[in-house]
Amino acid sequence: NAGVTQTPKFQVLKTGQSMTLQCAQDMNHNSMYWYRQDPGMGLRLIYYSASEGTTDKGEVPNGYNVSRLNKREFSLRLESAAPSQTSVYFCASSWDTYSSFANVLTFGAGSRLTVL
């Protein structure tokens, strides 16, 4: 029962470098999300994918791109990292964004990214 798996757990980048955070879920969930968590800011939605083949911007999408590779996998890419993107990133998934009675999110363990 892996749930939601994120890699890597830790990463240090230099400004301008690129990287991809990987996320996979084994719960057959339709919807997947990327959040970032910063001290005193709570969690803010970066991008989400309501179903395979669709992606939409959340509250803070600038500087990020996403790919919903298949039903299981949802990746987050930083094309040119900036110090403002230093954060903890959480991937989450849920059954069905639109029709479920409750949209309970299951979170991954988090990826701590530092941009120097």
Partner 1 sequence: ELKVEQNPLFLSMQEGKNYTIYCNYSTTSDRLYWYRQDPGKSLESLFVLLSNGAVKQEGRLMASLDTKARLSTLHITAAVHDLSATYFCAVDVGGGADGLTFGKGTHLIIQP
- Other Cβ atoms closer than 10 A to 87: 21
CB-count exposure of residue 36 (10 Å: 0-12, 13-18, 19+): buried
Please give the residue ranges that form the binding site for partner 1 (CB under 8 A).
Answer: 31, 33, 35, 40-45, 48, 50, 58-59, 90, 92, 94, 97-110
- Among residues 3 and 63, whose Cβ is nearest to partner 1? 3
19 versus 43: smaller Cβ distance to partner 1: 43
Q: Which is nearer to partner 1, 33 or 64 (CB)?
A: 33
* Min CB(89)–partner 1 separation in Å: 11
Amino acid at 47: Y
Q: How far is the CB of 16 from partner 1 (least distance, A)?
A: 28
Residues in the chain: 116
**Could you tell me the smallest distance in angstroms from the CB atom of residue 80 to partner 1?**
25
Residue with structure tokens 């939409």? Answer: 56
Cβ contact 110:7 at 8 Å: no
